[in-house]
Amino acid sequence: MSAADDGRSLGQLVAAATAEMSALVHDEIALAKAELRQDVKRGVLGSGAALAAGVLVLFALPVLSFAAAFGIHNLGLGLAWSFLIVGGAYIALALLLLLLALAKFKKVSKSKSPQKSVASAKQSAAVLSHARPHPRAAENGGKERPQLQGVTRSSV
């Protein structure tokens, strides 16, 4: 269908296309916002459920500790020794988790990733500070733009 068949000029068709594109972009943004709201609601509900589960586990821990101590006591050990065994098990578990955390923290401090990224950024800035803008195609006699020599990509 041509502009003459529709009775609209080329300018009117361009204006209509621009308006429809603008409306399409606004609708896409509205859809993205609606999807984001839905994801946030799901995230909040999931976080609430995880928090409730954590609270229930926290409340269950003393009950299970007493059950373990009394279970050991029923095996013939004294009640004080039973509670000491359960407490010692918790301390051993805490020390094991502390050693794991310390090992992870040491790996974080020894990591060279941030230093590599900073060095790469400095190298890129140095290359870009010496770069000149490409000459226009008209200045080259209609030829393609020349390629920069000696520019390498970073490994980031």
- Residue whose entry in the numeric block shows the structure tokens 């990591």: 111
**Highest mean pLDDT (candidates 32-46, 87-101, 116-130):** 87-101
The residues near 148 (Cβ < 8 Å, ≥ 6 apart) are 131
Q: How confident is the model over 119-143, as a mean pLDDT?
A: 63
CA distances from 122 to 37, 105, 112, 148, 151 (A): 39, 27, 15, 19, 14
Amino acid at 113: S
Give percent above pLDDT 90 in the chain: 37
pLDDT band at residue 68, thresholds of 50, 70 and 90? very high
Match 């050693």 to its residue by tokens.
Answer: 99
Distance CA 24, CA 30 (A): 10
The pTM of the whole model exceeds 0.85 = no
**For the chain, what is the radius of gyration of the CA atoms?**
34
What is the model's pLDDT at position 66? 96
Residue of higher predicted confidence among 99 and 10? 99
Side chain identity at residue 122, one-letter code = K
